[in-house]
Amino acid sequence: MGPKKAAFAVVLAVAVPAGAQMPLRLPDVSPAATVRQVVGVTEIEVDFHRPAVNGRKIWGGQVPYDQVWRAGANENTVISFDTPVKIGAADLAAGRYGLHLLPTATGEWTVIFSRMADAWGSFSYDAAEDALRVAARPESAPFQERLGYSFDDLTANSVVLALRWEELRLPIPIAVDAKALGLAELRRQLRGLPRFGWVGWNQAANWSRQNGGDLEEAEGWADRSIGIQRNFTNLRTKSLIAGARGRTAEAAELLSQAMSIATEAEINQLGYQHLAAGAVDEAIATFRKNVADHPDSWNTYDSLGEGLATKGDKAESIRNYEKALSMVTDETQKERIRGVLAGLRG
């Protein structure tokens, strides 16, 4: 045996004692799973294991009634929130909780959020560690072989966490104060690097305006953005805030200033914002301005054609699409416009 092989044998002898057992990692009978959902700025996550029905009686059998159950298999199910939430009408602090259930044969079940989140099952469950208990009523549901959790009925401020297994669904409503949490998150971020650029201040101002925040604060944020770099985007934001505060003449003047320095792309984007909001006439007027200001751009005619098509003016829409087709050089765009024209003429 050479010196290198001898050294390797010594290392093996030290690293692996005689009789050591090296277990294999085998497939789990109840595989682990994670579901995650963001509501506003709140992230909710559920970590659990997924047992199968496997022909067994589940409710009142595999899962006994009137006994605390781990809401899954293996370790207790864990649910975490990175902001405070409401479970039904009850407040629950941000944190990581063991999720347990107390099923009953009839009526409401109890959903338990335990401050102990790292127990094996519910075998060491202690009611003294409860952070919250709420009632939930199970519902009949289509058969599901493996236990699962889903986030249903998502809104800007709420979601329903639903356990599904066998022929049962247990809904657990979760709500957040999206506006307050959103504003707090914006204020936090504006203490960091975004405070040194115009974009972050403008985003905060616009979000606050759109979501019922304090308009005076929002206007201050818009002013900070303009002070760093005056441009179409932040002038329009301040115009919208001034309008929301009842200063109509000022809003019109600010919008005029914004439009006077806008690029072709910015005007085009504004037109599509109007279109998405259902303000078709405003969108068409904006696209027409872009055509007048940038008559050598095929894209301005293309956008105006789309606005006119949305309004139902096929004849003028076709004329603008034909103009765009005569100017564009990119083959992919040509093919797209030909398809749009075929649809309008068909």
Model pLDDT, residue 28: 82
Model pLDDT, residue 9: 47
Give the 3-state secondary structure of residue 30: coil
User: What are 145-164's pLDDT values in tens digits?
Assistant: 999 999 999 999 999 999 99
User: What are 46-81's pLDDT values in tens digits?
Assistant: 999 999 999 999 999 999 999 999 999 999 999 999
The pTM score is 0.77
DSSP assignment letter at 75: S
Count of residues for the chain?
346
Delineate the domains of the chain, giving CATH numbers in brackets: 32-175 (no CATH), 177-261 (1.25.40.10), 264-346 (1.25.40.10)
Query: At 114, phi and psi to the nearest 5?
Result: -100, 140
Q: Which of 83, 103, 102 is nearest to 91 (CA)?
A: 83
Tell me the β-bridge partners of 91.
86
Tell me the β-bridge partners of 47.
34, 78
Do residues 209 and 215 make contact, with C-beta atoms less than 8 angstroms apart?
yes
The dihedral sign for the CA sequence 325, 330, 335, 340? negative
Q: Which of 226, 178, 231, 218 is nearest to 41 (CA)?
A: 178
Distance CA 50, CA 3 (A): 52
Q: Which of 323, 305, 302 is nearest to 313 (CA)?
A: 305
Residues with pLDDT less than 70, the chain? 1-19
Model pLDDT, residue 10: 46
Do residues 40 and 178 make contact, with C-beta atoms less than 8 angstroms apart?
yes
Distance CA 265, CA 233 (A): 12
Tell me the β-bridge partners of 92.
85
Helix (H) or strand (E) holding 243: helix 232-244
Model pLDDT, residue 2: 52
Model pLDDT, residue 20: 75
Q: N- to C-terminal Cα distance for the chain?
A: 85
Pairing of strands 130-136, 109-114: antiparallel
The Cα-based distances of 77 to 34, 87, 133, 225 in angstroms read: 10, 17, 15, 45
Do residues 101 and 69 make contact, with C-beta atoms less than 8 angstroms apart?
yes
Give the count of beta carbons closer than 10 Å to the beta carbon of residue 155.
11
Q: Which of 155, 8, 181 is nearest to 81 (CA)?
A: 181
User: What are 199-222's pLDDT values in tens digits?
Assistant: 999 999 999 999 999 999 999 999
